[in-house]
Amino acid sequence: MPSTGTTVAQLGERGLLTRVLANIPASRDAELGAGDDAAVLHAPDGRVVITVDTMNEGPDFRRDWSSGEDLGRKAIASNLADIAAMGARPTGLVIALALPGSLPDAWVEDFARGLSCALDECAPGVGIVGGDLATAERIQISVTAFGDLERRAPVVRSGARSGDVIALAGDAGRSAAGLALLAAYANDEPLEQLRESCGPGGTALLAAQLRPVAPIAAGPAAARASASAMMDVSDGLLLDAHRMAEASNVTMRFERALLEPFAERLARELSESPGLPDDPLELVLRGGEDHALLATFPVDVVLPEAFTRIGEVLPPEPSRLLLDDEGREPIGWDPFSN
């Protein structure tokens, strides 16, 4: 349905439901979708994996930087990554959306398109099974996602064992580099102009920040390949690895040489954008929001295709984190102190 130039308040709840839900694929695993008091979703192995995450306009995104489509895509990537990080296959989602009455209806269509495209691309067959609409002064997007473990045990963060290989699927530092570009330039020039001035590399980094793509299929693949521990890297490699190291009572040792390719790619992509952080390796280690999968595997396992080896698990040492032989602090992201 083409945009009619109306607002969310003019459309009303019923119009919004038609508008938001009409173009979003149904879930192959839904027995009963949206429209009743609750949905019914298949949970084939008798358990359901559940995660919830909220994105709020203001602390989590700016509407002049992120389009509705960006946010729809990011909502899918960030939530399905948490399902994948347990080794589960995503089966469906519910979305609680609160919108200002003055929001143009085109934003909602754009958001729905982002949800649909991201689902088609990273989790075909998965769809929205229910939701809730409310009013708020600023946009709120709260997604609860579901998955099926296909009779495997969940891959928890406490399973890393000394001698395991540490491996990563997905990006590291690229989303944070995109955010640095936005912070440095986007207040002075419109986003379109910024995309031109920072070249294809910078544009790719902006995309990594605004519409990250998570390696969803790599999660179940890692579980099938006997991953001993796994996590979604949303708060940065060091901080999330520190959580895994604490939960598993081990030390995680990253090899600088194995992280260099990530840093070199970042350096290339940033080359047309002067004035940005000049140590790409630190972005790789500390940048958040990539929604990569950090996993550990027994040393004799052939890593699934999406994964790259980046280090090894050691017995617990005074430092939980090593870069080669140098101890590193977990640099953190706390929404209440940033």
Burial class (CB in 10 A: 0-12, 13-18, 19+), 38: exposed
- Rounded to the nearest whole angstrom, what is the least distance from the CB of residue 150 to a copy of itself in the complex? 13
Is 279 annotated in some ligand binding site?
Answer: no
Is 289 annotated in some ligand binding site?
Answer: yes
| Polymer length of the chain | 338
Contact 261, 269 (CB under 8 A): no
Residue 96 or 184 with smaller CB distance to a copy of itself: 96
- Rounded to the nearest whole angstrom, what is the least distance from the CB of residue 253 to a copy of itself in the complex? 22
Q: Which residues contact 124 (CB under 8 A, 6 or more apart)?
A: none
Is 324 annotated in some ligand binding site?
Answer: no
- Rounded to the nearest whole angstrom, what is the least distance from the CB of residue 299 to a copy of itself in the complex? 24
Residue 234 or 319 with smaller CB distance to a copy of itself: 234
- Rounded to the nearest whole angstrom, what is the least distance from the CB of residue 302 to a copy of itself in the complex? 24
**Cα 300 from chain centroid?**
29
- Rounded to the nearest whole angstrom, what is the least distance from the CB of residue 149 to a copy of itself in the complex? 7
| 3-state secondary structure (DSSP) of residue 268 | helix
| 3-state secondary structure (DSSP) of residue 125 | coil
Residue from 295, 310, 285 nearest 84 by CA: 295
Burial class (CB in 10 A: 0-12, 13-18, 19+), 112: buried
Residues that bind a copy of itself (CB under 8 A): 8-9, 11-14, 16, 31-32, 36-44, 46-54, 56, 58-60, 81-83, 85-86, 88, 92, 94-96, 98, 101, 129-138, 140, 142, 144-147, 149, 154, 156-157, 230-232, 334-337
Alpha carbons 184 and 205: distance in angstroms, whole number: 13
Q: Which two tokens stand for residue 222?
A: 């890692």
Is 248 annotated in some ligand binding site?
Answer: no
Is 132 annotated in some ligand binding site?
Answer: yes
Is 110 annotated in some ligand binding site?
Answer: no
Bind-site residues for ATP: 131-132, 157, 234
Bind-site residues: 37, 51, 53, 60, 82, 131-132, 157, 232, 234-235, 289, 333
Bind-site residues for Mg(2+): 37, 51, 53, 82, 132, 232, 235
